[in-house]
Structure 1
């Protein structure tokens, strides 16, 4: 079904791409606002709530796209899809994912696939927003319950499990974005863990949290390492009313 109401910002300096994507998406109920430069995109994104998603082209040899992504992630969780011109730009794609991008496409891409990815990423982001609803202060996963009002974690047997400040913040960040790869940089920002200037501090907190919620910490099934990106909370998360 069409997804009316989705508003995306398309940053791409190719006028033909702008026109083709805009025409195709508009036929399927998706509004596209094109931008040719980083400065244009920055001006349009002064209020990120004007858009539901950003499609950001990474130009070979230029850091403008990645810099814009860094700026966005410092103040917004708006979904971002990266596009790249060449398959060999793997380093840029990996770095983009580490900085918090939600998906990527390699040119030349099919318009049908591009639209499908926009819908999937938008739907996933909307689901995450619902999970953060204040009407459901608790998060449930695999029988565990985190009560965010009381800052209390309860295991499947109903026993409270003590969490340090850092462990609690890390778990809360994962539960706000379940089944989505999260970079170490994102987790550092989300949890305000700054004891170490290097991102290894997140790895230490991950190990400690795994010891408390994993059945086999040495073979984790809940918090998985996403190679080249960071970590992913791999199990479904539900909202609970209690």
Structure 2
């Protein structure tokens, strides 16, 4: 039986009840919260592997909860839920670093399948390889990044994107390829999520983000990592 803990955060009682039932039937240990404050209280006392987080919550919304989570040293995986179907909301969730995004109404079985997929990626054994490029050190096992020996705070997806590029030095990836390989699903339409993450990585890692040394743009194609 699965040991993973999942926190379902949604202000609709029926959604909480149905998702909790399906997840428990699949072997997950589930707790529920009806708003952002309850979610943060639960996170103070329990370590969760994944949150199903509604974007639109009363009082403290899902975005605020997510941003609070990202300040933790080892934040849980997050799948965002929302009744909004606009592409802009999906892009916002992904740009913030969410692992996946599901629009209501949804099939509970689909949600369980997405939970399985995200947790499977998170549980994959990390490489023990440490990568060094000048003053930049990437430790895949510890999921840490150092510049001149000083730690750099990255979101889960910022680290995943950096690690993917750095382990394939010199290889050019299109935005669509990066969405498929880092976010693990095909993306049709606006690929600005990748662009935003690259920009944030440059701001955090490069001495001069406007003239990057490592995270290079290949115009009309995509991005590559130069050692």
Is the counterpart of residue 91 in structure 1 residue 79 in structure 2?
A: no
Does the CA-based 8 Å contact 1:26-1:32 persist in structure 2?
A: yes
Q: Find 2:64's aligned residue among 46, 64, 67.
A: 67
Instruction: Report the secondary structure of 1:94's partner residue.
Output: helix
- Sort the Cα spacing of 1:187 and 1:41 in 2 relative to 1 into closer, same or farther, 3 A: farther
Task: Compute the displacement of 1:69 (Å).
Answer: 0.7
Instruction: Report the secondary structure of 2:91's partner residue.
Output: helix
The residue that corresponds to 2:43 in the other structure is 45
- TM-score of the two chains, using structure 1 as the length reference: 0.61
Question: Using the alignment, how far apart are the partners of 1:61 and 1:37 within structure 2?
Answer: 6
The residue that corresponds to 1:131 in the other structure is 126
Is the counterpart of residue 57 in structure 1 residue 54 in structure 2?
A: yes
Task: Compute the displacement of 1:192 (Å).
Answer: 3.8
Q: Per-residue CA shift, 1:135-163, capped at 9, x if unaligned?
A: x233xxxxxxx348x9689xxxxxxxxxx
Name structure 2 gaps, 5 residues minimum: 139-146, 168-180, 184-193
The residue that corresponds to 1:29 in the other structure is 27
Task: Compute the displacement of 1:220 (Å).
Answer: 4.9
- Sort the Cα spacing of 1:27 and 1:94 in 2 relative to 1 into closer, same or farther, 3 A: same
- Sort the Cα spacing of 1:35 and 1:183 in 2 relative to 1 into closer, same or farther, 3 A: farther
Higher relative contact order (CA 8 A, sep 6+): 1
The residue that corresponds to 1:230 in the other structure is none
Does the CA-based 8 Å contact 1:52-1:79 persist in structure 2?
A: yes
Question: Using the alignment, how far apart are the partners of 2:69 and 2:6 within structure 1?
Answer: 14
- TM-score of the two chains, using structure 2 as the length reference: 0.64
Does the CA-based 8 Å contact 2:8-2:30 persist in structure 1?
A: yes
Q: Per-residue CA shift, 1:51-81, capped at 9, x if unaligned?
A: 1101101128977110111111122431100
How many residues matched? 183
Does the CA-based 8 Å contact 2:9-2:32 persist in structure 1?
A: yes
Name structure 1 gaps, 5 residues minimum: 139-145, 154-163, 196-200, 224-232, 234-242
Q: Which structure has the larger Rg?
A: 1
